[in-house]
Structure 1
Amino acid sequence: MAGKRRADVSRRRLIRAAGGTVAGVAVVGGGTVTAMATGVLDDPTPVDPFAGMPKSLALDLPGQPHYAGLTELPDPLAEGTVTAPSRRIPYETAMPNPSAVAAAVPTTLPFTFKMSGYRIVEDVPDEMQPWRDLIVPRVDTGLHDAAGVRMFKAANGRVYNHPVAQLQYGLSNLNTWRRTRDSFYLDRARAQAERLIDTRVEARGAWYFPYPFDYSGGAHTSVRYTGPWYSGMAQGEALSFFAQLAQIDIIPEDARTLYKAAADGAFGSMLRGTDGKPWVVAKDSKGYLWIQEYPGATPETSDFTYNGFLFALLGLWDYFKLTGNPLAQQLFDGSLTTIYAHFTPIRNKGWISYYCVPHRLPNDKYHNIHIELLRQMQWLSGSTRSAYLSDVLMDDYPTPKMPVSGNVAMAAGTHTLYRFDGNGAVTATKKLTVNSATQAPTKTRVRIKGRGVHYLITAGTAKDWYIAESFPRVFLRGQWFTSTYMPRRVATFPKGISITCYKFATNGATGATKTVKFAGDSNAPFDVRAIVNGRPMVRITAGALKDYWAPCSQVLTDGR
């Protein structure tokens, strides 16, 4: 992902030794020996780091890099039960008065909560701003009405408006318009906006976008609602959608004024506490702010859903970009403080993260959303903590679905192939012997429960069998699930440890390696993390290791 890089002077130090002298660098993949500082060669005759795997495979990256990003959004109501509303929905029928809406926005926070000083970063390249991943086809194969508005069909056959579905579809059409400049997508985004405004509920001096049906959340026992009910996730996504629409110059001024009013109305809901109803923001018993996707009858009985909170946090960024309102900044700070403080109960070490704090239910669809939204928070806040937590979740359970098919390189020799049941138990094995290095296609790189990362082979004699990732004997060729960072991050090379770094070539050429060992801890800036030839690695951006990749298993990245 291209884009300007903001200066981060404190991180612009090149490779440096924390403790004085630095050992030299050995080039083992071809080339000449280059010392980084006064010292001696780390290892003049290093052991072959490829264990017989041809360098033409181990040091080459075929094709283009594949970037991380949101590719699909699950329906948050899919695992529950929808029935007809038990109450009348009090839709507002009067035309909005933008001036009155703006005047009704509170000028103080609803309560005090913990903050840490995190700041909104405004100078973010467009492609790194919220809701820039998803695009939609011109022909809508989903359920929609005659106006092109996204609709939701319950199991009972009834069709309802669904605020989050309409907001996300509107944001996706808006992003598709940005990429194509085809007014069709902008018109369809605006159709979603018109429906949301027409079906708003005005209460407590704010705008709420209702779910117009009763809902039971299945395993989430605290999620039991009679319509209309309201969600902090919907309110936050409304902030993003209407704030973004209000900033599009080709939209007529009167419409942009209306969208600004809708954003103001939604923001008002973020400033109404639990001293009245409806509410979507509260603080917990320890003083942490929560924007609740599923508010409970009381703050303590809410669902404390992680992904919905993160989506709402995007809305605070968008609203601040539109208005500069300092309360949005404070809510952003408190929200990020809560997200970090509650990472541990959400994390499921070595496996799929939990959907929410009280219910320890791993959910692979939302695990990937946690990864992506935490990564984006680094761009929007400048906090390396977000990026590090995203990395942790990616290593716990890597995104299994590859965007396109890739090739697994296998060294000459005998390999064990596996089949597993849903709990990771081995149900079958067989041996595969190859006389020379070979390749096999895959579309899945997945952690097996209780085990390491495996590839599911899709063709040849190993078709429908898993093989374990084990560089350099078995690895997925290429650069996958690439995360780009702004500002650049810092990797620390621990003192006294030999680390081999890699400079990859493309199109069948052979790259190079450098083996380094430092007398003291030594820092280097990096801008990208990716799965490169089957290993998590970071790309160094300055110094003698510029454009080399360092294995994440051997360096320490910032944000811990």
Structure 2
Amino acid sequence: MRKTLVFRHDSIKIQLCGDTQSSVDQLIIGNQTLYDQQAFYSATRWLLNNQDLQTGCWFIHVQRNYAHHTHYHLRNPWCSAMAQGQAASLLVRLYSLTNNKEHLLAIRRAIQPLWSSNLTRAYFNNRFLWLEEYPLESATKGLFVLNGCLYALIGIIDVNTIDYQPYLSELINQIIISLEHMLPYYVHPTISNWSLYDLSHITMKSKINTASYSYHLVHITLLQCLPQ
């Protein structure tokens, strides 16, 4: 996946998904839109200053409950695969500007939890690898949030583009195989041409978690960004 980053006045212009005709004038990270260079550098500075150097994580200490599922718990503290992937993507853009080796090391640490441990991983049917936005205590149980895994995957692809590693290519292939098998489970059973937010109705026997309009569009956009 090629990314082109060019400064124009006070905005950052990014080429998306390898499409030379598609670009935006804001860099979107999570729920925050970064409009200018100052905000871009402020965000990357925070990431560099707050990364756990041993694990590479930006640990989250906020606990979440899942309705009546009191026997399912997030790890404490927890490391979100989605957050790690998004942070890695942002740091890739920083490194593209600075060529600073310390920034490259931070990128490598950021994706370390995605490939070297089960801090962020779960396995669907004990077989298909998934990168969890909300990792539960047991790697054999998971919510399997679709957008969270896709954001993490795109982060890995971004990193592998500027710092190719065979183990990252293997991880990308593993997740693509998981997506090929699991995507049919995200098709809404009663609403035509609509997606599900996660697979908790399978793993936790919850009611079906229908994706909101905004999340459905996110699913489409992220899937379109994956290499063909």
Match of residue 295 from structure 1: 135
Conservation of the 8 A alpha-carbon contact between 2:82 and 2:149: yes
Residue equivalent to 2:195: 353
Deviations 1:282-329 (A, max 9, x none): 434452111111111112222111110011111011101110112111
Residue in 2 that maps onto 1:214: 63
Q: Cα 1:169–1:370, aligned 2, differ >3 Å: closer, same or farther?
A: closer
Per the alignment, residue 157 of structure 2 pairs with 317
SS of equivalent residue, structure 1 residue 210: coil
Give 1:269-348 correspondences, 5 Å limit.
Answer: 269-274=113-118, 279-348=119-188
Compare relative contact order (CA 8 Å, sep 6+) and give the higher one, 1 or 2.
1
Q: Does 1:240 align with 2:102?
A: no
Higher percent of residues as helix: 2
Say whether the 8 Å CA contact 2:81–2:131 is kept in structure 1: yes
Aligned pair 1:186/2:37, yes or no?
Answer: yes
Residue 372 to residue 362, structure 1, CA distance change in 2 (3 Å): same
Partner of 1:195: 46
Q: 1:257 to 1:129 in 2, by over 3 A?
A: farther
2:16 equivalent in structure 1: 128
> Contact conserved, 1:307 with 1:355, CA < 8 A, in 2?
yes
Alpha-carbon distance between aligned partners in 1 of 2:71 and 2:48, rounded to the nearest angstrom:
29
CA contact (8 A) 2:52 2:58 kept: yes
Cα 1:299–1:226 shift into 2, 3 Å: closer
Please say if residues 215 and 227 of structure 1, whose CA atoms lie closer than 8 Å, have aligned partners that are also in contact: no
Give the letter for the 1:238 counterpart: A
Q: Please, what TM-score do these two structures have when normalized by structure 1? A: 0.34
Unaligned runs of 5+ residues in structure 2 are 5-13, 202-207
Residue correspondence of structure 1 range 527-546 to structure 2 within 5 A: none
Spell out, residue by residue over 1:310-364, the C-alpha distance to the aligned partner (whole angstroms, 9 max, x if none): 1111101110111011211111111111112111111115053111112321022
Task: Report how many aligned residue pairs link the two structures.
Answer: 207
Structure 1 residue 135, shift from structure 2 partner? 4.4
Q: Deviations over 1:109-138 (max 9, x none)?
A: xxxxxxxxxxxxx567762338x866459x
Q: Greater CA radius of gyration, 1 or 2? A: 1
Counterpart of 1:539 in structure 2 is none
Go from structure 1 to structure 2 and tell me whether the alpha carbon gap of 1:233 and 1:219 turns closer, same or farther (over 3 Å shift).
farther
CA positional deviation for 1:243: 1.4
Counterpart for residue 501 of structure 1: none
* Regions of 4+ moved over 3 Å: 122-126, 132-137, 167-170, 217-227, 282-286
* 247 and 291 in structure 1: CA distance in 2 versus 1, 3 angstrom threshold: same
Kept in 2: contact 1:223–1:303 (CA 8 A)? no
Q: Quickly say closer, same or farther: Cα 1:209–1:355, change in 2 above 3 A.
A: same
Distance (whole Å) between structure 2 residues aligned to residue 211 and residue 340 of structure 1: 30
SS of residue in 2 equivalent to 1:296? coil
Distance 1:289 1:227 in 2: 22
Alignment deviations for residues 364-389 of structure 1 (CA, whole Å, 9 cap, x no partner): 22111111111111xxx22xxxxxxx
Contact kept in structure 2, 1:231 and 1:280, CA below 8 Å: yes
Which residue pairs with 1:36 in the alignment?
none
Label 1:222 to 1:232 Cα distance change in 2 as closer, same or farther (>3 A).
farther
Q: Percent identity?
A: 19
User: Secondary structure of the equivalent of 2:41?
Assistant: helix
Give the TM-score of the pair, scaled to structure 2.
0.78
Query: Which residue of the partner structure matches residue 11 of structure 2?
Result: none
Q: Distance in 1 between matches of 2:31 and 2:113?
A: 22
Mapped partners of 2:45, 2:15: distance in 1: 26
Deviations 1:450-482 (A, max 9, x none): xxxxxxxxxxxxxxxxxxxxxxxxxxxxxxxxx
DSSP-derived class of the 1:233 partner? helix
Distance 1:214 1:123, change over 3 A: closer
- Residues in 2 aligned to 1:270 and 1:310: alpha-carbon distance in whole angstroms: 12
Q: CA RMSD in A?
A: 2.9
